[in-house]
Structure formats: C-alpha cells, structure tokens
C-alpha cells in the first residue's frame, strides 16, 4: 500500500469568494434607501468586496501554484518508488536464477566421474555464487512491496542492445551503437545499461526528433560507462518534453547500484551518461 497519497486540490480563497458574493448581495439590497448611512454604507461594502475579491484571486493563484508543486513532487516520488519496485523484482529474479543454476551444477557433480568435468562445475558454482551474492546484497538495499509481487519477465542483457537500437531506428532516429570490450558484467548492471539506453533514446526522440545519436558502452576500470549523446533538435522539430519521471526512476536504479547518472546539454545536444561500478572493489 502506497504511503504517499495524491495531493488534493483545495483553495482557501473559495470561502472568501463566497463571503464576498454574500456581501455584494447585501450591498445591492441597500439600493434605494435614504439617509447618510445609505450613501456611505454601499461605498464601504463595495470597497471591502473589491479588496476581498482581489485577495481571493491572488490567494487562489497561490494555492493553485502550491498544488501544482505538490502534485509534481508526488508524481516524482511515485516514479522513484515504482522504479525501486522494478529493481527489487529484477534482482529477485536474478538471484533466483543464480541459486537455481548453483543447485543444478552442484547436483551434477555427483554423476561426473572425471575430474575435469567436476572442476568445470565447481568453477561455474564459484562464479555464479559470487555474482548472486553481489546481487543479493544490492537487493537488500531496495524496498519491495510484498503485496504487489508483479509478473516475472525475462530480464534484458547486452544481447538486447541491438534490438533496442533497431527500435529507435524504426522511430526515426539515426543511432550508432558502439560496445567496447567489457569482460564479465553482472546481470544487474546489464539491466541498468539497457534501461539507460532506452531512456536516452526516448529522450532524444522527444526532444530532438530524427537526429543522430551515439550510444556507447565501455569499461573504465571497475566501472561500466554507458552514454547516449545526440546532436540536438532537427530543423523544424518541436520538442515534446515529458514530465522527467523517467530520468528520476533511472537515477534511482543507477544510484541503487552505487553508480552516478548525469544528464546535461552539451553543444546543443543532450548527453546522458551512467557510470556503474561492477566487479571487486
């Protein structure tokens, strides 16, 4: 159950406007009366009503701006929480797969009479155990709602990058994918890289239209670095910006892995860079 409720629209100006309307009606009732009070009272009531109405309009605008601010903050919080749940589900599936593989390989060693086969099985168990332990530690830092387990779905790895790029080409972009020598990369980092590429290409499609965009994935020491950089809006393109919640969710995913995410404009274009640690410290 979500602890953050959607903010409701309420304005303190509404009661004042109702009182102002009632005062104006009272002022109208004095029309036709005689005497000094009849001449002064409508002026006082009318002036007070105008001042109250002016205050009410300004108060209504201020309340509306505050509501929009709270609604934007709530939507950003919802995006972060949703991404954290997806991270937890992804890591849950990764750990389950790793433990299952360990069990299968360990059981198979009982029926391997040859030492080389047993040695290969033990090597597999050691590798998978290390990766699974690392993913499990990450999973423990992410909250998951037990009431909403969500569907189990195949997780993306580096083999999905060409398909992600082809989908961007179908949307009108001109992407170029470059993948360096990465060595062994843990499954959780591979998922984060794919999500970064998807978000970067989606941002380019919204902000720059049919533009050139370079997608690079490389290793820098113990970090995997992924960047998505476009050349800026195409001629005549009218940007259709989103709410920015996709970047907020992506930043939550990257930081949960101990990485950093930067999004900035460079030379008229937009650069999205994620730097994610992977491997022993």
Each residue of 66-81: pLDDT tens digit?
Answer: 888 887 777 777 777 7
> Using an 8 Å Cβ cutoff, are 72 and 64 in contact?
no
> Is pLDDT of 259 > 90?
yes
More confident residue, 137 or 60: 60
- The confidence band for 214, taking pLDDT boundaries of 50, 70 and 90, is very high
Coil/strand/helix, residue 256: helix
Report how far residue 208's alpha carbon sits from residue 267's, in angstroms, rounded to the nearest whole number: 13
Give the HSE-up count for residue 117: Cα atoms under 13 Å, Cβ half-sphere. 10
Report how far residue 33's alpha carbon sits from residue 242's, in angstroms, rounded to the nearest whole number: 60
Nearest to 186 by CA among 225, 220, 140, 224: 224
Q: Which domains does the chain have, with CATH numbers?
A: 1-153 (no CATH), 158-277 (3.30.565.10)
> Using an 8 Å Cβ cutoff, are 186 and 276 in contact?
no
Question: Residue 262's beta-bridge partner residues?
Answer: 273
How many Å is the Cα radius of gyration of the chain? 30
* pLDDT (mean) for 216-224: 94
Taking CA atoms, 27 is separated from 30, 41, 44, 110, in Å, by 5, 8, 9, 98
> Using an 8 Å Cβ cutoff, are 105 and 132 in contact?
no
- The confidence band for 151, taking pLDDT boundaries of 50, 70 and 90, is very low
> Is pLDDT of 141 > 60?
no
pTM for the model: 0.54
Q: What is the pLDDT of residue 77?
A: 75
* Mean residue pLDDT across the chain: 75
pLDDT cut 90: percent of the chain above it = 18
> Using an 8 Å Cβ cutoff, are 116 and 64 in contact?
no
> Is pLDDT of 193 > 90?
yes
Residues in the chain: 281
CA 252 centroid distance within chain: 7
Report how far residue 224's alpha carbon sits from residue 125's, in angstroms, rounded to the nearest whole number: 24
Q: Is the dihedral of CA 281, 159, 88, 70 positive or negative?
A: positive
> Using an 8 Å Cβ cutoff, are 246 and 202 in contact?
yes
Q: What is the pLDDT of residue 98?
A: 64
Instruction: Give residue-wise pLDDT tens across range 47-103.
Output: 777 777 777 778 778 878 888 888 777 777 777 777 777 776 676 666 656 665 666
DSSP, res 10: -
Coil/strand/helix, residue 4: coil
Residue with tokens 């300004």: 58
Taking CA atoms, 134 is separated from 55, 127, 187, in Å, by 59, 11, 10
């Amino acid at each position: 159950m979500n602890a953050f409720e959607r903010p409701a629209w309420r304005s303190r100006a509404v009661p004042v406007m109702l009182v102002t309307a009632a005062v104006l009606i009272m002022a109208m009732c004095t029309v036709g009366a005689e005497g000094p009070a009849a001449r002064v009272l409508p002026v006082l009531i009318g002036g007070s009503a105008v001042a109250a109405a002016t205050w009410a309009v300004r108060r209504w605008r201020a309340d509306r701006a505050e509501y929009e601010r709270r609604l934007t903050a709530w939507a950003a919080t919802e995006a972060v929480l949703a991404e954290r749940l997806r991270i937890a589900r992804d890591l849950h599936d990764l750990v389950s797969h790793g433990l299952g593989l360990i069990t299968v390989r360990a059981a198979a060693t009982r029926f391997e009479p040859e030492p080389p086969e047993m040695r290969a099985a033990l090597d597999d168990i050691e590798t998978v155990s290390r990766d699974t332990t690392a993913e499990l530690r990450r999973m423990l830092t992410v909250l998951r709602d037990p009431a909403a387990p969500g569907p189990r779905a195949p997780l993306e790895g580096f083999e999905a990058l060409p398909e992600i790029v082809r989908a961007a080409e179908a949307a009108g972009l001109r992407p170029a994918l470059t993948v360096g020598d990465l060595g062994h990369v843990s499954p959780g980092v591979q998922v984060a890289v794919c999500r970064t590429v998807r978000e970067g290409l989606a941002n380019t499609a919204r902000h720059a239209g049919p533009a050139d965009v370079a997608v690079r994935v490389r290793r820098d020491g113990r970090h995997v670095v992924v960047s998505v950089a476009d050349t800026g809006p195409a001629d005549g393109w009218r940007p259709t910006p989103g709410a920015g919640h996709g970047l907020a969710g992506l930043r939550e995913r990257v930081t949960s892995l101990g990485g950093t995410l930067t999004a900035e404009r460079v030379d008229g274009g937009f650069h999205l860079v994620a730097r994610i640690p992977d491997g022993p410290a």
